[in-house]
Structure 1
């Protein structure tokens, strides 16, 4: 892969990371309710999930997944239900005026990682993106370990940058709402956003 191709690949992944969808909406909701630090576990989980899909697509296993419509349908519906559940929890979340006190709002760090992983993994559009995207940059039939390592490294950097940008934006919006009433409204807005992400995922079958 040439330098120009590597840069283009990273930029494309970055744009893909910040493109509106269930994952971005879920991340915005978490950032609005818990701040930037609360977003980091979800960012890591979403990145890991995308990298898994990238590796599957690199080995050609994603083509087979296109014929597993029923399986991915179940995964998609389960992911949508999970997002509805998280949105409901945000609606009922107590007011917390600092990031540290709200850290238990949805769960621990590992729960946040798992949430991010499941939200991204439950969207079959992600793996379909990599199916169409990868062959434009590399010959998958001649894929070497070093080439795959480079793709993974570039994807991780681009995904972390893009998702962190979303998290930072949501966190800054959160700081504008410091009163209990504003925080309550923000939690409900974030919950609605999370529920909207679930509806988006459910409708994208």
Structure 2
């Protein structure tokens, strides 16, 4: 990839990362109730899943992904159910519990958050088809080297994390401005509703 194509690729992936979808909604909900730091593992899980799809696209494995449609469908429903469950927990959370979340997550919670993010992105095998159509614009897939794939993966990961972090920080600002118990309770319900909606969208989309 040339410098120009690398920069264009980075910008395109950045725009892709902030496009509304279940992942973005999940990050908004998490950041509104727990702050931007609580969304780092969630964002990383989504980014890693996307990178795996990018690598599969580079190696021409889109057909394999399509033949595993049943597996992806099961993952999608599991991910949707988990999002709805988390949304309900946010909706019913007490203000004191929301405040305690400022202390940060345990390693176990961070791993669970990473897996959640990974499942959200992994549940959509159409992402690999996006990369199959998208990558030829920036590189010749017939003469790819391992370095080309590694460079594209690093660019994509950086762009995805930058975009998702921007979403998380922006959403967390609403939380900073709402300090009263009533405001925090309303914020919990808004975030819970967003998370439940994301789960419903993930389950019902074609």
TM-score by length of 2: 0.91
- Return the structure number with greater helix share: 2
Query: Cα distance, 1:24 vs. partner?
Result: 0.2
Q: Cα offset for 1:102?
A: 6.8
Q: Does 1:112 align with 2:122?
A: no
CA distance in 2, matches of 1:115, 1:191: 16
Q: Aligned equivalents of 1:94 and 1:126: distance in 2?
A: 37
RMSD (Å) for aligned C-alpha atoms: 1.7
Deviations 1:85-136 (A, max 9, x none): 11112112221336524747xx722221111111111223322321221122
**Where do 5+ consecutive residues of structure 1 fail to align?**
none
Separation of aligned partners in 2, 1:98 and 1:175: 14
Q: How many residues align?
A: 203
What's 1:85 paired with?
Answer: 85
Alignment gaps of 5+ in structure 2: none
Q: Which moved more, 1:116-125 or 1:19-28?
A: 116-125
Alignment of 1:5-44 (within 5 A): 5-44=5-44
Question: Which range moved further: 66-75 or 5-14?
Answer: 66-75
Distance 1:140 1:63, change over 3 A: farther
Distance in 2, matches of 1:82 and 1:109, equals 15
User: Matches of 1:40 and 1:94 in 2, distance apart?
Assistant: 23
Deviations 1:155-203 (A, max 9, x none): 0110111001000001111111111111111111111101111111122
Which is further off, 123-132 or 77-86? 123-132
Which 10-residue stretch deviates more, 94-103 or 166-175?
Answer: 94-103
Q: Distance in 2 between matches of 1:11 and 1:36?
A: 22
Q: Which runs of 4+ in 1 moved over 3 A?
A: 101-104
Question: Matched residues in 1 for 2:43 and 2:20: separation?
Answer: 15
C-alpha separation in 1, matches of 2:124 and 2:205: 9
- Give the TM-score taking structure 1 as reference length: 0.91
Query: 64-73 or 178-187: which moved more?
Result: 64-73
| SS of alignment partner, residue 179 of structure 2 | coil
